[in-house]
């Protein structure tokens, strides 16, 4: 208890007050309750972790704690608990170094341990949180005559021959006559045109060859590469029949259940018959801390990223749609009391219709290094500029109090860039508030200057995509608990419309 006050004085938790307490109510509550009243565990773990190898007791004594050895032992146990629970707990904030913001997906590689030559397995499009052998591509370049496993290869044989079991799937035809089949899936009722080759192949496999597949249960250690060296079938008479690898009708190797190999990783025959047995890691994903929807807008000829949820000042998620309504730029200042309004024009011209503050545009730009012979584009994050009347005298009138409050919220918002005031008008540029749409989340100063994310054009299809950030909790093969913040990408809900229009002319009084 005597160490709490010195630690609190040296490492106070700073929870900033939100610029709009009504939109970020959780941030306002946490700021009032815990700002400067609790210990910042992240900063303490970073500082104490660096002092453990040097002089832990001196570090604690410098804080003014009376019994350094006892406190050091407690802090060491706490630091081990943090290291065991959270992955990279003292790393800088922001995305994982394996996250590719241009592709909105993870990319990483695994290398074989103790094997010469080294074998690399690359996963460049990891987005759904479920990793399996088919997510990897063999990317090593082997010299002719070199084996994949090398000196570390282990010849493993099962202790007893496994008993085959027929592979089952929903809607599988019955094995015998007069047996009721599963009515939840009826392959016979599925239609297919002549061009639906994938559907025709699936129907033929399910109805004609579905009972030709068997499962052989074999228990193997995970995190290893395996190759079937030989395969024998022993029938009821004790006769062993060797089964060679399956081949196509033209004699080429059949590669349906084999790992993909890069073209540069030759020779193919020495790599593609390997199978990587991934450890099963089933993570529990919490509610989204950040939720972004990317979609196409054909009417505006743009792509949009809609921030639905982002983290507030306390770290809890907040609804950006509610915040956007409090940053509305659709109001106009009322005419001062007693003033005679000027006669209106028969036509009213609108330069640009307003767009919600949480809608971030992505504009097509030429890819760096593109040539006329190889033309390609990317989608670069832009901003929507909205203008408001900010005449000080008219904002001070009671009738314009709501508009004055909106202007103050816009000027105080950390993600809104205010342009210089000109002739009673001021422009406000809306930047993303969350981390998904930024390349350097930890660097807030670059948001208005150099942080302009570029996405590959094919990463925003017509169906759109949804990207989420959330806490993930899982246990590894040894039972150790793991906690991290991960990102996932799923298919969106199609195209949308922002309502953005330029040079809009209407008749005075609401006519078209």
pLDDT tens, residue by residue, 260-309: 877 655 444 456 577 888 887 788 899 999 999 999 998 888 999 999 99
Residue with tokens 């709009």: 20
| Sequence-separated (6 or more) residues with CB below 8 Å from residue 242 | 230, 231, 232
First vs last C-alpha separation in the chain: 73
Please report, for residues 42, 126, 224, 225, 255, the alpha-carbon distance to residue 111 in angstroms, rounded to integers and kept in the order given.
31, 17, 11, 11, 23
- Please report, for residues 204, 223, 247, 274, the alpha-carbon distance to residue 226 in angstroms, rounded to integers and kept in the order given: 31, 10, 20, 5
- By DSSP bridging, strand 465-475 and strand 481-491 are antiparallel
pLDDT number for residue 150: 42
Per-residue pLDDT, 135: 87
Integer Cα distance of 20 and 10 in angstroms: 29
Radius of gyration of the chain measured on its C-alpha atoms: 31
Considering the entire predicted model, what is its pTM?
A: 0.80
Residues (pLDDT < 70) of the chain are: 1, 87-95, 113-118, 140-154, 263-272, 331-345, 442-444, 508-512
With pLDDT > 70 as the criterion, what percentage of the chain qualifies?
A: 88
Query: For position 149, what pLDDT does the model report?
Result: 42
Instruction: Return the residue matching tokens 């030429």.
Output: 366
């Amino acid at each position: 208890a005597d160490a709490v006050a010195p630690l609190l004085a040296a490492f106070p938790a700073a929870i900033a007050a939100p610029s709009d307490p009504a939109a970020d109510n959780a941030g306002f509550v946490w700021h009032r309750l815990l700002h400067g009243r609790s210990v910042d565990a992240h900063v303490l773990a970073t500082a104490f972790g660096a002092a453990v190898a040097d002089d832990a007791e001196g570090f604690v004594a410098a804080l003014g704690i009376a019994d350094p050895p006892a406190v050091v032992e407690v802090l060491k146990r706490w630091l081990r608990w943090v290291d065991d629970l959270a992955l990279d707990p003292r790393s800088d904030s922001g995305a994982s170094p394996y996250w590719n913001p241009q592709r909105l997906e993870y990319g990483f590689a695994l290398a074989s341990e103790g094997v010469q030559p080294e074998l690399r397995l690359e996963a460049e499009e990891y987005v759904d949180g479920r990793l399996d052998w088919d997510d990897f591509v063999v990317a090593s370049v082997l010299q002719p005559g070199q084996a994949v496993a090398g000196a570390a290869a282990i010849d493993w044989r099962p202790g007893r021959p496994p008993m085959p079991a027929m592979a089952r799937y929903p809607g599988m035809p019955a094995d015998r006559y007069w047996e009721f089949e599963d009515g939840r899936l009826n392959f016979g009722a599925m239609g297919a045109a002549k061009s639906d080759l994938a559907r025709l192949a699936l129907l033929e496999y399910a109805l004609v060859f579905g009972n030709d597949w068997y499962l052989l249960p074999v228990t193997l250690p995970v995190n290893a590469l395996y190759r079937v060296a030989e395969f024998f079938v022993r029938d009821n008479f004790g006769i062993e029949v060797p089964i060679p690898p399956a081949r196509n009708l033209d004699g080429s190797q059949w590669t349906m259940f084999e790992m993909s190999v890069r073209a540069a990783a030759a020779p193919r025959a020495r790599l593609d018959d390997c199978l990587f047995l991934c450890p099963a890691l089933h993570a529990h994903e919490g509610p989204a801390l950040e939720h972004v929807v990317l979609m196409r807008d054909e009417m505006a000829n743009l792509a949009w990223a809609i921030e639905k949820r982002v983290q507030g000042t306390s770290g809890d998620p907040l609804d950006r749609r509610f915040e956007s309504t409090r940053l509305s730029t659709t109001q106009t200042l009322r005419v001062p009391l007693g003033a005679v309004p000027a006669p209106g024009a028969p036509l009213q011209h609108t330069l640009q219709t307003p767009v919600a503050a949480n809608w971030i545009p992505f504009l097509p730009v030429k890819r760096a290094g593109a040539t006329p012979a190889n033309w390609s584009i990317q989608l670069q994050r832009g901003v929507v500029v909205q203008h408001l009347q900010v005449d000080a005298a008219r904002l001070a009138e009671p009738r314009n109090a709501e508009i004055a409050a909106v202007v103050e919220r816009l000027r105080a918002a950390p993600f809104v860039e205010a342009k210089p005031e000109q002739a009673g008008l001021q422009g406000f540029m809306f930047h993303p508030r969350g981390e998904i749409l930024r390349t350097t989340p930890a660097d807030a100063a670059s948001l208005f200057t150099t942080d302009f994310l570029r996405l590959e054009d094919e990463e925003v299809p017509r169906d759109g995509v949804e990207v989420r950030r959330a806490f993930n909790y899982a246990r590894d093969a040894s039972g150790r608990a793991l906690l991290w913040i991960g990102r996932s990408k799923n298919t969106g809900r199609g195209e949308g419309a922002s309502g953005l229009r330029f040079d809009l002319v209407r008749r005075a009084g609401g006519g078209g």
